Structure 1
Amino acid sequence: GGIIAAIFDLFTGTRLEALAPDIAWGFVNSFHYLAGKLEKREDGYARELGDLARAPEGSEIYARSLEEKQLQCQSVAEQRQAIECMRDYAAEMYRAQSGWPWSPAKGTRASSASSASQIAAVDFLRARQLEQRERHLPQGPIVVVTGPADWHDWQAIWSRLDAIHARLSHMTLVTTGQRRGVDQIAAAWAARTGVDVPVVRYGLYGTGRKTAFIRNRKILDLKPVEAVLCEGSGVQANLYQLLRQANVPIHALRRADQAADAVKFPRRVPPAAIEGGQHGDT
């Protein structure tokens, strides 16, 4: 975390100050890249472990091989978790310094023919699968937030999200994955201390004029329970119509109603505030 703060401090007051967020982003991304490599290695061990667990033998050699493979898989899983923890802390420091969030988871049946090692291996695989499902597929009620990239009134969006979060504390936020405007404002809200809301960036996949409209229908298929829609293009109007026809409660924000001079996020937070857990919401 101190390295991230040092990067910003190093370039403050120089012509390179505007580049500090990009350099710090790359530092955080290095942890993310390594975590991805470890996850792939973990998946490989898990497949091998699964193959062993599905072909049980009564020999001591088999039991030892199973235990060793499980230990390898668990060791890499712990390494991944540690690197992800470092990445998340560095990402929080990045958010504090730049003002924006950093962005880029049936029970075991035992029988007399099963050895203790095999049951433990199956249990481990099940626990790992559940962890991945929660990490990559959050289960909370879906709240959609979308709008144009040139939207600046973050306070209007945050106030709606605060009200929704007060009623749906386990919500999952779905945006269209833009790095500016409404989507970035929503991601910044979710990254605040005490909010802890997962964000699913539902970007465009494919090419062609109909791609955005197809995405709108896929967002509708997620069965959102509420939406915050900021006035934008015809694609945004189409999403509004789809959600309205599905009787999804919508908080519609008009472009003309934006605050003329929206207060910007504080750009810097002292590193000590992060380390002490006392940094305020931005």
Structure 2
Amino acid sequence: MFNKKNYLYVLTVILGITWLSPFYLMIANSFKTKKEIFSSSLSFPKGLNLENYIIASDKLNFIKTFTNSLFITFFSVVIIIIFSSMAAYAISRVRNKLSTFVLFLFISAMLIPFQAVMIPLVAFFGKLHMLSRPGIMFMYLGFGSSLAIFLYQGAINSIPKDLDEAAIIDGCNRFQVFWYIIFPMLKPMTVTVAILNTIWIWNDYLLPSLVINKKGYETIPLKMFFFFGEYTKQWHLALAGLTLAIIPVIIFYFFAQKQIIKGITSGAVKG
């Protein structure tokens, strides 16, 4: 007879298969020819046809494009982590009406869709001559800081203020208290913020398409558009390129998943 644990096990298996099915379709079809994909997209590939990966890598100029994506993603995430954690620390430790208002201002900013502000934003940055890689990093800071501050603020609330006071008595200033005592304790939340923003920035197409207009500086999502023309769609090459593109993010996630769980739980506990 099925008991509660068995039902939960079956539900877990169903959810696991549902979650993994897009990955199966992507990887399996990346080894097929275009004809094989349209004849049977659900079947296993007949063999490990690496030609798709070789052609896709060449068309994407993969090493250069990968470096561009890595550069923008890495520095954008670092900037978001540093500034958001410092802002959250100030909001958490200075508790008054102004800090509460600022926190709700950041939270409310998460409700504003990018499409609502993208035209005036790009026009404004164009006038400042910041439609470049530094400019797009600054934009990512603006759009990514709201959620990061919200998460960091919850984690910092769980850290006793006594640690701050003890460090100040020992001669530390506020910056030293944050950087040497508070920030290291935020490691689980930092990993959580890092991977959430890494996945978002790494896969983002819309903002780079508006900002990066110089040849040779395209990110992977921009280059992937090469496989989708007006009259033809090269699914076999696109899926091979997509598989290459997500490998770094998956590796990062598997190494950081324990810290992500700790970060989520630490943000749920308040001191």
| TM-score (normalised: structure 1) | 0.20
Higher strand share: 1
Query: Could you say which structure has the greater relative contact order, defined with CA pairs below 8 angstroms and 6 or more residues apart?
Result: 2
TM-score (norm 2): 0.21
